[in-house]
Amino acid sequence: MGIYTVFCLLVALVGRPIAWGMLEPYQQRRLTIFLDPYVDQQGAGYNIIQSLLAIGSGGLFGQGYKQGRLTQGAFVPEQHTDFIFSSICEEWGFMGAMLLLLGFALICFRLSQSIKDVEDTFARLVLVGVLTFLSFHVCVNMSMNVGLMPVTGVPLPLISYGGTSLWVTLFSLGLTQRIYVDHSNTSMFK
């Protein structure tokens, strides 16, 4: 191990108790629930436990549209916004979740290709911002649904219910199209 690795480990070991003491009680509780949702099964850990159960019950091909026992039985809270991905996984299964992920990957791939084709620096930075915004929201929402991140309330772009999220996402994608048409060094009709 290098000297920098040892130094980082020492800082982490010494700094962890200090950092924990600086957190507010609700922040400490959120981190505790994230690490072990079964600490409070009927309270703060309920959302993530039900989300994981819904994802697991979907299997490979899902239970069918509007056939999910956990989502239709209203066991998964906030299933139209924060936990929409778990609802999709239960009703459409692993294959449906992979198709959704493939769709988002295609959007992100096209945005990254547009970044390469645009010559104007400001336009390129706007495209990078939109790509970062979309990929961040997708990663955070899906990660919190499968228990890899704490529940934060970040919507899944183009899928979660909510006017503001949809409008911002559609505006951002429209802006990227306009930038690509105006500033691209290649024709989009080739």
In this structure, is residue 189 part of a structural domain?
Answer: no
| Tens digit of each residue's pLDDT (9 = 90 or more) over 2-18 | 788 888 888 888 887 88
Whether 4 and 49 map to the same domain: the answer is no
Q: Which residues of the chain have pLDDT under 70?
A: 1, 185-190
| Domain extent at residue 22 | 1-35
Whether 24 and 68 map to the same domain: the answer is no
- Dist. CA 111–CA 184, nearest whole Å: 12
| Single-letter amino acid code for the residue at 145 | N
CB 128 within 8 A of CB 151: no
Whether 132 and 178 map to the same domain: the answer is yes
In this structure, is residue 28 part of a structural domain?
Answer: yes
Whether 110 and 178 map to the same domain: the answer is yes
| Tens digit of each residue's pLDDT (9 = 90 or more) over 118-149 | 989 999 999 999 999 999 999 999 998 998 88
pLDDT of residue 123: 92
Whether 137 and 112 map to the same domain: the answer is yes
Residue from 190, 67, 84 nearest 144 by CA: 84
Residue from 37, 96, 138 nearest 87 by CA: 96
Tally the domains of the chain.
Answer: 2
By the 10 Å C-beta count (0-12 exposed, 13-18 middle, 19+ buried), 175 is classed as: middle
